A = this chain, B = another copy of it.
């Protein structure tokens, strides 16, 4: 399988390293909006092209992995590049998925390609777990918790506060809430009861720390509905302790069965990830394998993780899977 990458940020680099862990895959090239001479792939022999040259690689890439952002890049890029290749993205603006799906589906169908949107872990593996859970236990309740991990959106929001030089925000699930869900009690939980937010901030010299703290804690949408802690640290501490991008979370389905609904069941799926972009990339490549197979079968159009039979993700044959993994 020949893989192309569009966009060489954290996610693009994650895809590059994940390709090396899959013997049936090869990274052919990276497309960038920057000056190609300024991009240095970690893998020898990988070409770097300007994004305007994408069409020239038609027929030479099995799946193009789109590594742009959900706010402005992917709504344009995924329908555009589905004209030339099978494509996969990690579009994560949940509310706009139906619209994005429709645009991508049309472009992919018109050009005989397979596209997948919203691949990763949420949306992605967590979505799959919500679906399995609700199909198996129709009388029950879903819970999704995120963290402990870095929220890029909240970290960006902190850095926009006057007097802030650098900042990082960790989303942390509340242990008591996790335990209440695990008990099968089906609790109703408010936003505040589910997660806390912890901020590490490097302030500009002479900045009003009390004001920064108040600005963060009262920021609408981002922090005002949460219990938030703000720690002021030095640039050195920031570089030493907060360079990584860990994340993770939990999906629960709790429900009842039995003639009298007398039996409780708790299904729990959790991720603890040292690197959010590298894990996301790893999920994307497994699904890239699936969409390449679908494409070889003559399928076209937009798919999501819901549409992919698990067997399509594995390099093993059906016989091998049944003999060793079932």
Contacts and interface: CB of A to CB of B under 8 A. Distances in A.
Interface of A: 14, 17-18, 20-22, 42, 94, 97-98, 101, 118, 123, 125, 127-128, 130-132, 134-139, 182, 184, 257-259, 262-275, 278-279, 281-283, 286, 289, 304-311, 313-315, 318-319, 321-323, 325-326
Contact of A14 (B134, B257, B278): B257
Contacts of A272: 182, 184, 265-266, 268
A97 B314 contact: no
A309 B128 CA distance: 10
Given A257-B21, A326-B94, A131 B313 contact: yes
A132 B311 CA distance: 9
A137 B282 contact: yes
Contacts of A134: 314, 325
A283 B265 CA distance: 12
A241 to B, nearest CB: 16
Given A258-B275, A265-B279, A265-B282, 4 more contacts: A14-B257, A125-B136, A257-B281, A263-B274
Given A139-B21, A311-B131, A314-B131, A304 B322 contact: yes
A88 to B, nearest CB: 14
Contact of A309 (B94, B268, B278, B309): B309
Contact of A17 (B257, B274, B319, B325): B257
28 contacts: A17-B258, A20-B259, A21-B139, A42-B259, A97-B322, A98-B319, A98-B322, A125-B136, A131-B310, A131-B313, A131-B325, A134-B314, A135-B289, A263-B273, A263-B275, A265-B274, A266-B272, A267-B270, A268-B268, A268-B272, A305-B326, A306-B310, A306-B311, A306-B326, A307-B309, A307-B311, A308-B309, A308-B310
Nearest to A285: B136
B130 A325 contact: yes
B257 A282 contact: yes
A298 to B, nearest CB: 16
A137 B134 CA distance: 26
Contacts of A269: 267-270
Nearest to A273: B265
Contacts of A304: 321-322, 326
